[in-house]
Amino acid sequence: MIVKTKKYALDQKTYINIALRQWVKDNWKWAFVPLGLIFLNVILSLTGVYPNYWIYIVIVLLTILYVLFWAVQITGIAQMEQSKALFQKYIYEIDSRQILMRINAKEGGILKWAQIDSVIKDKNAYILFLDNAEAMANVKANWLAKTVTKGLAKAQFLYLPYSIFNSDNDLRFTEALLRRKGLLPGAPLPAETVK
């Protein structure tokens, strides 16, 4: 069975919101670094060892600059010429081998299931995050470039809103396929419902 969707283009605002939300989910633990530094400074100030009040401003300022850096990176991806393909209108053809993305009858691309790292089932859509580890395996880059690439690991994704599916059966088949591929949590559906 092949699921064919309606033609759909991801808008830049949705892309930026999802990418920023994923970045926060992946990096929330780093908030403990500035909190720990502030806590350490409070303890040192209370004990009289090292009363230093300007450090609070520096820590808050550096934290804001760090978050702004990543927000600019993610927003910049949406503006780049190389990212234009993310925002084109596609018809998606989903089957058990691949996801075919068609712009028209002659243009498009193929996405193999092995290229998908994870899937989130949102309240309005499936979000399929792409795995860029294979693409980055042979790239020779400095530490900073590798760090930026790691930070943007979830910035490449397919956004498939439920409204682009033509029927409930197509939606159920897609969900069953995602479960069978191990991309969605939960037990796969019985084989007779997925043909």
List, for residues 98-142, the tens digit of each pLDDT value. Answer: 999 988 877 888 889 988 988 999 899 999 988 876 555 555 666
Range of the structural domain that residue 134 is part of: 3-193
Specify the number of domains making up the chain.
1
Mean of per-residue pLDDT scores for the chain? 84
- The span from the CA of 1 to the CA of 94, in Å, is 9
Q: Check pLDDT > 90 for residue 7.
A: yes
Best CA proximity match to 80, nearest among 15, 150, 159: 15
Q: Check pLDDT > 50 for residue 183.
A: yes
Instruction: Check residue 104 and give its pLDDT.
Output: 82
Q: What would the pLDDT profile of 33-77 be if each residue is shown by its tens digit? A: 999 988 988 888 888 777 677 888 899 999 999 999 999 989 998
Q: What's the pLDDT band for 193 if we cut at 50, 70, 90? A: very low
Instruction: Check residue 185 and give its pLDDT.
Output: 79
Q: What is the pTM of this model?
A: 0.77
Q: Check pLDDT > 70 for residue 188.
A: no
